[in-house]
């Protein structure tokens, strides 16, 4: 082979040294192209020798035989390949699918600014109020999985050199150890109940929920196990439920609030006869307007209660507030600045009662009476059969059936009697209910107590109190002079058929036992 021919055959390496190709240029003497020359060229480039290289050179020379250099130009054929490295994957945190869907929705709602677009033609319609954007988790709940970073797999170039793989980076997300537990298998578990918060590459669970803006379409309805604090207000038709307490700084519109403990409405509620406020303990409000309120303990209102239905198990302490319209029933005492209005709005206050307890007492006593009569009737029939001298198998079967009927009726009475005893205990724990009015009890206002209704026919100046005397008569006590006036002198009296008289309850309980 001439020097010229030697220069026209070579092995070319790719820049990453992962490929080596046999290259033959036009003008070479074809007789000098053979496997020995090609192999020598490869070895001169430090190509890793081996059976695979020899096979590829043989295949290249076969292809060269059919290649027309003058017509097609240079000949190029791949004779050696390396193995590229596989880079490691970066670590990442994957939320559980249900939480991921909420997380994505929250980002979408944030971009929309809380506005809810109308569904397009043919688009499925559903209640967007129920599409919460808060990731609420329970203690022990799996919230996601950490995928660990991998080291990658090293590669080899055509010369046999190692190509180091680039290791993946560990996830930069930090998990709060006080509220989140990360297991060795990558599982991420909630240690406490609350709101799962992901921000600035950190994840934690907040046992209390703080909403800087409104409860609206940016949040959806809220059902949270801990305390809830809303800095603005609650929009129409939204629901807020707390396993502890709720505090709302702004106005609550026609929304539904429910808390196992307390509810504080610093801006009040304008419910338009649709809003509800149900608290297991206390309610403190600036004002209540057009709402259905159920209070498990005490109620305090600063300004007014207007056209509301209110049931309070404890006491009402609102000496500066006015109550106008609607119906307030309390097992305890209540204190208002003004009751009713000078326009004569029909305002009802029921003392020493709560509708739910009244209904339970009436229904329970009625059912106990029916069960008692049923048991007595069965026992009387059993006695008649015993007195009958006939000893047939049919008689024995009837007696067994009647005995079962009597026992079943008596068994059903037991929990009812226990419930009535608990009710009586609850009522007895309350002091004798009193309505205290600091400024004015207006004409047209109605007070119910002791099974009677008193609709006042004239306006009375405070401070005064309305209560029952020792014999159960409703009286009005002037808190300045100490004078006592029978309420029947200033009001129209009538029986209160909707009430169960608490003074009769002990007698009824003894009868039921």
7 within some domain: yes
Residue 201 shares a structural domain with residue 302: no
Residue 62 shares a structural domain with residue 104: no
Task: Give Cβ neighbours of residue 436 (< 8 Å, ≥ 6 apart).
Answer: 319, 333, 334, 335, 336, 463, 464, 465, 479
Residue 222 shares a structural domain with residue 305: yes
Q: What is the pLDDT of residue 464?
A: 96
69 within some domain: yes
Residue 254 shares a structural domain with residue 344: no
When comparing pLDDT for 421 and 329, which is higher? 329
Rounded mean pLDDT, 94-109: 87
Q: What is the pLDDT of residue 513?
A: 42
Rounded mean pLDDT, 279-297: 95
Rounded mean pLDDT, 12-21: 94
Least confident among 37-41, 238-242, 423-427, 452-456: 423-427
Q: What is the pLDDT of residue 1?
A: 55
Residue 337 shares a structural domain with residue 461: yes
249 within some domain: yes
Q: What is the pLDDT of residue 423?
A: 60
Residue 201 shares a structural domain with residue 215: no
pLDDT more than 90, % of the chain: 63
Residue 510 shares a structural domain with residue 378: no
- Three-state secondary structure of 174-212: EECCCCEEECCCCEEEECCCEEEEEECCEEEEECCEEEC
Rounded mean pLDDT, 180-203: 93
Q: What is the pLDDT of residue 509?
A: 54
87 within some domain: no
Does residue 454 surpass a pLDDT of 60?
yes
Which structural domain, as residue segments, surrounds residue 475? Answer: 322-352+430-513
Residue 306 shares a structural domain with residue 228: yes
Residue 201 shares a structural domain with residue 106: yes
264 within some domain: yes
pLDDT interval class at 492 (50, 70, 90): very high
Q: What is the pLDDT of residue 363?
A: 67
Give tens-digit pLDDT for 381-402.
888 877 777 767 777 778 788 8
pLDDT interval class at 99 (50, 70, 90): very high
Residue 386 shares a structural domain with residue 333: no
Average pLDDT over all residues of the chain? 87
Task: Give Cβ neighbours of residue 251 (< 8 Å, ≥ 6 apart).
Answer: 233, 234, 267, 268, 269, 270
15 within some domain: yes
Q: How many residues does the chain have?
A: 513
Q: Is the pTM of this model over 0.85?
A: no
439 within some domain: yes
Give tens-digit pLDDT for 344-361.
789 999 998 655 555 556
Give tens-digit pLDDT for 112-122.
665 544 444 44
What region does 482 belong to: left with phi over 0, alpha with psi -120 to 50, or beta? left
pLDDT interval class at 458 (50, 70, 90): very high
263 within some domain: yes
Distance between CA atoms of residues 233 and 416, nearest Å: 43
Residue 252 shares a structural domain with residue 367: no
Residue 158 shares a structural domain with residue 146: yes
When comparing pLDDT for 424 and 132, which is higher? 132
Total number of domains constituting the chain = 5
316 with 330: CB under 8 angstroms?
A: yes
336: nearest Cα among 457, 465, 459: 465
């Amino acid at each position: 082979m001439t020097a010229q021919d030697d220069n026209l055959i070579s092995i070319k390496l790719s820049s990453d040294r992962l490929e080596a190709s046999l290259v033959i240029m036009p003008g070479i003497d074809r007789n000098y192209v053979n496997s020995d020359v090609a192999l020598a060229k490869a070895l001169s480039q430090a190509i890793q020798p081996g059976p695979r290289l020899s096979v590829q050179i043989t295949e290249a020379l076969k292809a060269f035989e059919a290649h027309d250099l003058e017509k097609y130009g240079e000949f190029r054929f791949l004779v050696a390949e390396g193995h590229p490295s596989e880079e490691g994957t970066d670590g990442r945190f994957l939320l559980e699918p249900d939480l991921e869907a909420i997380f994505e929705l929250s980002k979408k709602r944030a971009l929309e600014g809380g506005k809810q677009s109308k569904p397009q033609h043919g688009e499925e319609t559903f209640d967007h109020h129920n599409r919460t954007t808060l990731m609420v988790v329970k203690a022990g709940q799996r919230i996601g999985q950490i995928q660990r970073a991998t080291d990658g797999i090293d590669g080899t170039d055509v010369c046999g050199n190692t190509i180091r793989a680039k290791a993946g980076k560990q996830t930069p997300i930090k998990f709060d150890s006080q509220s989140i537990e990360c297991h060795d298998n990558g599982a991420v578990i909630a240690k406490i109940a609350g709101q799962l918060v992901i921000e600035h590459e950190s994840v934690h669970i907040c046992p209390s929920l703080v909403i800087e803006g409104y409860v609206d379409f940016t949040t959806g309805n809220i059902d949270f196990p801990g305390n809830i604090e809303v800095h603005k207000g609650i929009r129409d038709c939204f629901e807020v439920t707390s396993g502890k307490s709720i505090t709302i700084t702004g106005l609550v519109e026609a929304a539904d609030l429910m808390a196992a403990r307390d509810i504080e409405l610093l801006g009040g509620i304008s419910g338009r006869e649709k809003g509800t406020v149900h608290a297991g303990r206390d309610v403190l409000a600036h004002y209540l307007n057009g709402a259905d309120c159920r209070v498990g303990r005490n109620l305090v209102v600063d300004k007014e209660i207007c056209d509301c239905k209110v049931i309070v198990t404890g006491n009402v302490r609102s000496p500066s507030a006015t109550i106008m319209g609607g119906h307030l029933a309390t097992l305890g005492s209540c204190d208002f600045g003004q009751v009713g209005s000078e326009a004569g709005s029909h305002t009802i206050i029921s003392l020493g009662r709560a509708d739910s307890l009244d209904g339970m007492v009436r229904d329970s006593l009625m059912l106990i009476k029916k069960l008692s009569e049923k048991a007595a009737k069965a026992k009387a029939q059993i006695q008649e059969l015993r007195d009958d001298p006939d000893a047939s198998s049919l008689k024995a079967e009837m007696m067994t059936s009647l005995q079962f009927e009597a026992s079943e009726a008596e068994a059903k009475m037991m929990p009812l009697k226990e419930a009535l005893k608990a009710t009586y205990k609850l009522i007895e724990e309350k002091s004798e209910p009193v309505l205290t009015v600091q400024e004015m009890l207006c004409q047209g206002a109605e007070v119910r107590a002791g099974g009677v209704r008193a609709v006042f026919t004239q306006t009375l100046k405070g401070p005064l109190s309305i209560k029952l005397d020792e014999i159960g008569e409703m009286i009005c006590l002037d808190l300045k002079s100490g004078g006592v006036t029978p309420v029947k002198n200033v009001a129209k009296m009538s029986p209160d058929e909707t009430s169960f008289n608490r003074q009769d309850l002990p007698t009824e309980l003894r009868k039921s036992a």
